[in-house]
């Protein structure tokens, strides 16, 4: 996603995220960034996001030691249901020291700025 740089990676997710999409796109990018930078920050722009199929990211990451390398997550969305799903997902998977902030779509730049602050 435009705005991604170095240890800060952004994804725009629309519609329903499937396990196949997560395995093909999200997970490899996260692994590459973690190998390079060790700790990363993640922006998820949920634009028309309808949810995840069962196990979309959960199965990929729940046993992955790399999850501990995600230090900040900015969730950008105007849809409360998508944010709720990601919040529940994060509560189950993320280490307690991972900071998560929520931003409305019209505050996308503020989300990028917040991720930059944590470098």
Task: Give 7-28 pLDDT, tens digit per residue.
Answer: 999 999 888 888 788 878 888 8
pLDDT number for residue 109: 96
- pLDDT tens sequence across 44-70: 898 887 777 766 565 556 556 667 788
- Give the whole-number percent of the chain exceeding pLDDT 90: 26
Q: Is the pLDDT of residue 71 over 80?
A: yes
Complete DSSP assignment for 48-87? EEEEE-TTSSHHHHTT-GGGGGEEEEEEEES-HHHHHHHH
The residue-averaged pLDDT of 89-118 equals 81
Q: Is the pLDDT of residue 112 over 80?
A: yes
What the chain holds in terms of domains, given with CATH numbers, is 8-117 (3.40.50.10600)
> Which helix (H) or strand (E) element contains residue 100?
strand 99-103
Identify the residue whose tokens are 């019209």.
106
* β-bridge mates for residue 52, sequence order: 17
Euclidean distance between CA atoms 44 and 83, whole angstroms? 10
The pTM for the full model equals 0.80
> What's the whole-number mean pLDDT along residues 79-92?
58
């Amino acid at each position: 996603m435009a705005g991604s740089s170095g240890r800060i990676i952004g994804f725009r997710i629309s519609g329903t995220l499937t396990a196949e999409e997560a395995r093909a796109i999200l997970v490899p990018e996260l692994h590459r960034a973690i190998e390079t930078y060790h700790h990363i920050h993640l922006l998820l722009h949920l634009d028309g996001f309808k949810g995840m199929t069962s196990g979309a990211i959960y199965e990929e990451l729940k046993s992955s030691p790399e999850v501990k390398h995600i230090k900040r997550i900015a969730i950008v969305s105007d849809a409360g249901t998508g944010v709720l799903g990601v919040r529940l997902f994060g509560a189950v998977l993320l280490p307690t020291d991972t900071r998560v902030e929520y931003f409305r779509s019209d505050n996308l730049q503020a989300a990028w700025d917040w991720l930059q602050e944590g470098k």
